[in-house]
Amino acid sequence: MSECIQLSFVLCRIGFYTCFRALCCKGPPPPRPEYDVVCIGLTGSGKTSLLSRLCSENTDNVVPTTGADNIKKYWSRYYQGSQGVIFVLDSASSEEDLEIARNELHSALQHPQLCTLPFLILANHQDKPAARSVQEIKKYFELEPLARGKRWILQPCSMDNMETVKDSFSQLISLLEEKDLEPGRI
């Protein structure tokens, strides 16, 4: 009998907490799942700056990771255990760099450890005059045929509009949560 009373008390307490939170928006937020996401892109695409700014860190002291292209061959070591991918590209880069970024994105989308994961592709530097539109990038990168059947998002962004970046991350989280809800295959 005391077990039933104790169980009822816990359920009431949970119900009260949920109602209280909904009405007053006070108290700690409910726990959120954590995801391991890999962020890749060519040197100068803005990966470090975007992530620092997103975390409300001062970007004045961000040291460019120039030379990181030399370690592209080691990217795959970071793929294991990833649940999602963020690919940052400089939408205002030269044709040559855009071609390299296209090849790297294609390689990542086809990599065995990443091919089933949701992708967020950030077309960064949209504030620059030479920036290509999302439609131009989608066509140039051949995303429609390449990513058919995959879950992916292509979003324009810049350091001047962090709300767009936050919205993009929210969309990626939604894709990750959808994956969590999928029934396991036997």
**Nearest CA among 64, 71, 79 for reference residue 110:** 79
Four-residue CA torsion sign, 172, 46, 160, 138 = negative
Q: Which helix (H) or strand (E) holds 132?
A: none
Tell me the per-residue pLDDT of 31-46, one tens digit each, with 9 for 90 and over.
Answer: 777 888 888 888 888 8
Assess contact for 169 and 54: CB atoms under 8 A.
yes
The predicted model scores a pTM of 0.75
Tell me the per-residue pLDDT of 152-166, one tens digit each, with 9 for 90 and over.
Answer: 899 999 988 888 888
Domain boundaries, the chain: 1-30, 32-181
In angstroms, how far apart are the furthest CA atoms of the chain?
75
Architecture of domain 32-181 in this structure: 3-Layer(aba) Sandwich (3.40)
The pLDDT of residue 5 is 33
